[in-house]
Each structure stands twice: as C-alpha cells, then as structure tokens.
C-alpha cells in the first residue's frame, strides 16, 4: 500500500469525522447521571456519613471566621483592658492567649473533619472500583468466546480509575464547596452589604472567563484524542514504512503547546482576578473603616475568606470537568464491555 493512498484514506476519515470524539454525552451528561445513580446505590451509607461531616465542616468554618473577627476586634484592637471575666481581672495578653488557644482548637477540628472526609472519599472510591471491576470481568468472561480477553487489563486497571475518583467526590465536593462559598458570602454580607457586593461583583467575570476558556481547552483535548487515534491507525497501517509520520507528530506537538498555553492562561487570569478582588476589598473596606462603618478585623477576615471563595470556585470548575469526563468514559466503557451499570 502506497503512502499516498494511506494519506488519502486518513484525510477522508478526518473529513468524515470518523475519529471525531463523541460530544452528546459531554453536553448532556446523561451517562454521568447513570453512573451517579449506580455509585450512589452502592455507597449511599458512606456518602450520607460524609455529607454529615461536610455539614459539620461548614459550621466549624463559620465559627472560625467569627472567632478570627472577634480576636482582632475585641482583643487586639481594643483599649478596654483589663476586663472582669468570671469575677477575675483579665489582661489583654491573657485574653489573647485564650483566643489563640480557641483558634488552634478550631483549626484542629477543621483538620480532623477534613481528614475523616478524605478517608471516606477513598473508601467510596475503592468500593465503586471493586464493584466495577467485578462487573467488567464478569461481562467479559460471559462474552469471552465472542470478543476474547485481550484488552480487559487496561480497562480494569487504568481506564476506570477516574470513575472511581469521581464517585468519591460526586456528592461531598459540591456540598462542601458550594456550602463554603455560601457560608463565606453570608458572613461577608452579615458584616457589610457594600463589602459583600464588592466581593461578588467580580465573580461573574471569573465565571464567564473560565467557562469560555474551558470550552476552548475542551476543544483542544478533543483534537488531541482524535490525533492520538489517528496516530494509532497510521502506525498500524504503516508498520512496515517508517516515513510519513512527521506531519502527525508536528500536529500533536502544536496541539499540546496550545493546551499548555490555554491551561496556564486560565490559571494566570484567575490568579490576577483574585488579586484584583483583594485590592477591591482593601479599597472598599478601607473607605468604610475611615467612615467608621466597618472594623479592621472584618477586612482582615474578609481577605482570608476570599481565598476560600476562590478555592471553592476552582473546585467547582474541576467538578464540572470531571462530570464531562465521566460521561465520555462511560460511553467508551459501554462500547468496550457492554452495559455494566445496568444492575446495581
């Protein structure tokens, strides 16, 4: 077979979208919903326990914010010392030590709860992976005479790992991150409506920018998958001809550079918007402090809480990408081994 005929066939395949990535599951997310129900049916007890710990984490997070504000306003930035507490005279330094001890206790509680939630996520992940591997192995064993056993090893060892990772985060991640987002916003608005509006004003810009750039990044990833499949076909057809691969290698290289450029542009822009948000908080908060409408402690706590807002926002974007990825991987898994999620 000549190289010209191979190029012609491969070009026609590209034009006819023969190797194009399937987009319907990516856009609709139905397959992820099916997997969501399957994983929830297996692990609902552990998921419920993780959700209870997640709600407790939100409560302790709010207590931590209030305690930091009280420590700055009522202990550090207060001139009403010494005070009488439980019929004893307490100096400013003694009360500061007590407040710092309380903050350390709250931080310890946050760390312990996060540790327990992460352990439960790992337990959920492994339970779902074991169930998937059993079903995939059983399905392939039943059709072994028709399809053969080749190819089952990468499926049960590597290709389903992202599905297990998603099952561990499918409920607790949006619960904790959305809860953290709302908890921090509630705390900020409770201190000052003007400061809350200043913090929220830049969030739509981040959402629109990240969604637009993520769409471009997804297109680059789909092109990369198509190029890698094309490379596999070309390598199979030209196994005896070592030439004619440079164009594909160049396209893969250019595609990878575009992925890097877009991915790090998203990160850099988000970091810049976070910095701008901090400047806005300092500017608006400083004006309110000079007008005696706000305290320095509220500005300090808001600056720290704003990082939690940004972190929650990034995690929610990652969750959206995981949801799309699970939809695609489920389709590929069905094509490989059949309907493995039909029964829980």
The tokens describing 265, both together, are 């542009």
Q: How far apart are CA 235 and CA 225, in angstroms?
A: 15
pLDDT-derived band at 63, boundaries 50, 70, 90 = very high
Q: Which residue has the higher pLDDT, 123 or 83?
A: 123
Measured between alpha carbons, how far is 159 from 177 in angstroms, rounded to an integer?
Answer: 27
Q: Band of the pLDDT at 337, cuts 50, 70, 90?
A: low
Indicate whether 264 pLDDT > 70: yes
36-62: pLDDT as tens digits: 888 888 888 999 999 999 999 999 999
Closest CA to 298 of 227, 175, 148, 194: 194
Residue 82: what pLDDT? 72
Mean pLDDT over 262-273 rounds to 84
Q: For residue range 174-208, what is the model confidence (pLDDT) as tens digits? A: 999 899 889 888 888 888 888 888 888 877 887 78
Q: Which residues contact 340 (CB under 8 A, 6 or more apart)?
A: 132, 135, 136, 139, 333, 334
- Whether residue 226 contacts residue 20, with contact meaning beta carbons closer than 8 Å, is answered with yes
Q: Where residue 252 falls among pLDDT bands split at 50, 70, 90?
A: confident
- Spatial distance between the Cα atoms of 269 and 208, rounded to a whole number of angstroms: 12
pLDDT band at 14 (very low <50, low <70, confident <90, very high): very low
CA distances from 299 to 23, 62, 72, 192, 288 (A): 45, 16, 10, 10, 10
Q: What is the pLDDT of residue 242?
A: 53
Highest mean pLDDT range out of 72-81, 157-166, 274-283?
Answer: 274-283
Structural domains of the chain, ranges and CATH numbers in brackets: 8-337 (1.20.1560.10)
Kindly report the average pLDDT of the chain as a whole number: 77
Check if the beta carbon of residue 137 is closer than 8 Å to that of residue 338.
no
Asked if the model's pLDDT at residue 239 lies above 60, the reply is no
- Is the pLDDT at 340 greater than 60? The verdict is no
Q: What residue ranges in 82-157 does DSSP mark as E strands?
A: 83-85, 88-90
**Dihedral of CA 208/209/215/216: which sign?**
positive
Does the pTM surpass 0.75? The reply is: no
């Amino acid at each position: 077979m000549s190289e010209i005929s191979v190029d012609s066939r491969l070009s026609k395949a590209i034009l006819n979208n023969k190797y194009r990535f399937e987009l319907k599951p990516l856009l609709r997310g139905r397959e992820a919903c099916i997997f969501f129900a399957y994983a929830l049916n297996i692990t609902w007890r552990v998921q419920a326990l993780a959700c209870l710990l997640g709600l407790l984490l939100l409560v302790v997070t709010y207590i931590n914010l209030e305690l930091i504000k009280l420590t700055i306003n009522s202990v550090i930035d207060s001139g009403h010392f010494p005070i009488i507490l439980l019929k004893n005279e307490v100096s400013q330094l003694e009360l500061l030590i007590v407040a710092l001890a309380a903050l350390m206790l709250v931080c310890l509680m946050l760390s312990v709860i996060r540790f327990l939630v992460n352990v439960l996520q790992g337990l959920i992940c492994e339970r779902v992976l074991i169930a998937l591997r059993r079903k995939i192995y059983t399905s392939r064993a039943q059709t072994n005479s028709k399809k053969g056993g080749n190819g089952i090893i990468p499926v049960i060892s590597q290709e389903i790992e992202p599905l297990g990772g998603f099952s561990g985060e499918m409920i607790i991640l949006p619960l904790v991150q959305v809860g953290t987002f709302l908890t921090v916003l509630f705390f900020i608005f409770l201190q000052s409506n003007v400061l809350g509006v200043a913090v929220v004003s830049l969030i739509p810009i981040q959402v629109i920018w990240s969604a637009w750039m993520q769409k471009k990044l997804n297109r680059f990833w789909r092109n990369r998958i198509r190029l890698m499949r094309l490379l596999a076909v070309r390598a199979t057809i030209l196994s005896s001809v070592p030439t004619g691969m440079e164009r594909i290698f160049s396209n893969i290289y250019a595609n990878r550079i575009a992925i890097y450029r877009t991915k790090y542009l998203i990160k850099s822009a988000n970091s810049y918007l976070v910095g701008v948000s901090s400047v806005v908080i300092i500017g608006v908060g400083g004006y309110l402090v000079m007008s005696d409408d706000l305290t320095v402690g509220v500005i300090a706590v808001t600056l720290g809480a704003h990082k939690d807002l940004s972190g929650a926002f990034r995690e929610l974007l990652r969750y959206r990408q995981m949801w799309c990825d699970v939809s695609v991987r489920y389709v590929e898994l069905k094509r490989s081994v059949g309907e493995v999620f039909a029964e829980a």
